[in-house]
Amino acid sequence: MKKYSFVKMNGAGNDFIVFNKDEVTGLQFSSSLIKKLCDRRFGIGADGVITVAKSEAHDFEMEYFNADGTTGTLCGNGARCAIQFAENFSISKGKSVKFLSNGVQFSGKVLDDGLIRFNLNNPDSLKENFVVKVSGKEINTNFINTGSPHVVFFLDDPTLKEFNLGGQFVSIEDFPVYSFGKEVRYLNDFAPVGTNVNFLEIRDSIIYIRTYERGVEDETLACGTGAVASAIITFLQKQIPPPIVLQTRGGDKLLVDFSVEGALIKNVSLTGPAKINFSGEVTL
């Protein structure tokens, strides 16, 4: 049995167990261990696990694991937490950083107002205004990959209102995110890897977002790459220009900025809080 130190962090309510990988040598982050750590009843509890390690070529290297033990996907809120972690524990060399996340290079910055800006790579695989079948009904949606795959539904879409004939929801607060999101996540349209599922409601000029996350297999209080995907789709569908602020389920706001050059979306960034909840030790 050995004790390993960790820090529990959250980015807009999206929570993570963060390890300094250089200080937990010998610890193997297997799928079974990740599931155990993230279990909210028998473990520490989190949406995912992050490791941060020093790097010769970059400020640090980050690994991200979903709560179900899978990896290889980008996590925007997790990246902001990793940037804050590296700053707090003197792993990074300054407030502006370059780092690897699952082998891909990114950059970011610790801002003076306590927020973290994470710069994403250009999105791809955009597909607008196509139909998926949910519970036997055809619903309009949009798809984009912002480092992770995302579909975006607008609650004011007529086909979604048609879906609501049974009176399942009045606003985004009572929308059935789990059941609807879970069905869409596994549709053949997005096989074999599946997709994350975002729901948006624009009310009183505020964009509210809720997200069912693949890999967590549940709704999370915020999703960074989902916020980015939703902001870009909102610009394309609703002509709301960047920067775009989204109100998350957890209560915090995320700001998404980008530039538009012809048909290209470039210079994408995600800004929001990244906070330490507590630190502790886990015995394994």
Q: Mark whether 75 is an active-site residue.
A: yes
Q: Which residue has the tokens 């306590």?
A: 114
- Which is nearest to 173 in space by CA: 140, 133, 214, 203? 203
Of 37, 91, 160, 223, the active-site residue reads 223
- Give catalytic status of residue 223 as yes or no: yes
Strand partners, 228: none
Omega before residue 123 within 30° of 0, cis: no
What does the block give as tokens for 139?
């619903």
What residues pair up with 144 in beta bridges, in sequence order? 150
- Closest alpha carbon to 235 in 225, 245, 250: 245
Distance CA 194, CA 149 (A): 8
DSSP state for residue 241 in the 8-state scheme: P
d(CA 220, CA 284): 27
Q: Indicate which residue of 9, 52, 74, 75 is catalytic.
A: 75
233: tokens are 């789709």
Q: Other C-beta atoms within 10 Å of 49: how many?
A: 25
End-to-end Cα, the chain, rounded Å: 5
Residues with a known catalytic role: 75, 223
